[in-house]
Amino acid sequence: MSTRVVLLGGGGFIGKSLARRLAGPGFEVTVPTRRPGARAALALLPGVRLVACDVHDPRQLARLFADADAVVNLVGILHDGDSVRPYGRRFAAAHVELPRKVVAAMRAAGVRRLLHVSALKASDTAPSAYLRSKAAGEAVVLEAAGAIDATIFRPSVVFGPEDAFLNRFASLLRVFPVLPIAGAGTRFQPVYVGDVAEACAAALDDRATYGTIYELGGPKVYTLRQLVEYVGSLIGRPRPVIDLPGPLARLQACMLGLLPNPPMSPDNLRSLQVDNVTDGQHDFPGWRPQPLEAVAPTYLSRIGAGSRYDELRRRAAR
């Protein structure tokens, strides 16, 4: 008998990887989305179906969970221009109010199993609204203990072929001869998206993971400067990286934060005050993540090769 899983945020970066991992025998996966047409590729996966749904509507959530065995909540946003403390309205809606609605709808439908994907270093005393809102969402889930069998994952920055982290730096390095960045000394423990998906899949039917918080990080820690320099070497665009001092970093974040899809915002800058590394005490059982160096070249090196080929063609006027 297949496990029926509702994948909230299934159209996102981690969500698509998890949908691919669960596709096939053993699971029936439902991915709610406001725009089924934009996620049509997911519907081609065996055992995966798309459902038009606004997950922020409690009534639609209740109908969505009616026949479910488990729910995975991957919904998250990185930016909120609202400066209201402890976190803005968009962060509150996505990271706090939605988990509350999810828990209520699960209880009403009699669904007990929940995987909730949060963020590494989530804390109610964190310097950024993003991390504080993620901690508040965790608290909502943990408060439902007894009625809900929840497992919480806290991944570090996640990388993979469609990531918005390494790929973004690759794009910037292709354009700018020098790259000034804020928080160049902040440490990260990048984790491969496939490993995050594997941990979620393994936990679904594992009762030993109930009521537990796991931190997901890769096998190696890097500074942000080291990551940017590594991306530059892979794409054949090595560039000097300049660590911006505080006032210039804040100015850069404010200016970039005005863009429609900002690569940096003042709140992101505040997140960089905290090293994004695991404590080594909350690893997932059997956790053996793939190293960055084994995966990143498979997609970033192609970017470099393609850009060099395009440049040669331009020089040849072809």
What are the tokens at 225?
């400067």
Q: pLDDT of 179-192, one tens digit each?
A: 999 999 999 999 99
Distance CA 158, CA 191 (A): 5
Closest CA to 225 of 266, 189, 269, 181: 181
Going by their DSSP bridges, the two strands 27-33 and 48-52 should be labelled as parallel
Distance CA 113, CA 147 (A): 9
CB 23 within 8 A of CB 83: no
| CA–CA distances in Å: residue 272 to residues 13, 25, 60 | 22, 41, 37
Average pLDDT over residues 299-312: 56
Closest CA to 216 of 69, 65, 18: 18
What are the tokens at 251?
């100015």
Q: pLDDT of 61-120, one tens digit each?
A: 999 999 999 999 999 999 998 777 899 999 999 999 999 999 999 999 999 999 999 999
pTM equals 0.92
E strand map for 88-186: 113-117, 149-155, 158-159, 179-181
DSSP state of 296: H
- Say whether pLDDT at 1 is over 80: no
- Say whether pLDDT at 309 is over 60: no
Distance CA 244, CA 228 (A): 14
For the chain, how far is it from start to end, CA to CA, in angstroms? 57
Closest CA to 43 of 53, 30, 34: 30
pLDDT at 200: 98
Residue 309 makes CB contacts below 8 A (sequence gap 6+) with: none
Going by their DSSP bridges, the two strands 70-73 and 3-8 should be labelled as parallel
- Exposure b/e, 283-300, CB count within 10 A at least 16 = b: bbeebebeebeebbeebb
Distance CA 317, CA 312 (A): 9
pLDDT at 85: 80
What are the tokens at 53?
């749904």
Bridge partners (DSSP) listed for residue 123: none
Backbone angles phi, psi at 158, to 5 degrees: -105, 135
Other C-beta atoms closer than 10 Å to the C-beta of 77 total 14
- Give me the residue label for tokens 């934060």: 257
What are the tokens at 188?
């990260």
Average pLDDT over residues 162-174: 95
What are the tokens at 69?
């065995």
Distance CA 245, CA 216 (A): 30
Domains annotated for the chain, with CATH where assigned, are: 3-161+189-216 (3.40.50.720)
What are the tokens at 139?
């608290």
Under the phi-then-psi rule, with left for phi > 0, alpha for psi from -120 to 50, and beta for the rest, what region is 317?
left
134 or 264, which is more confident: 134
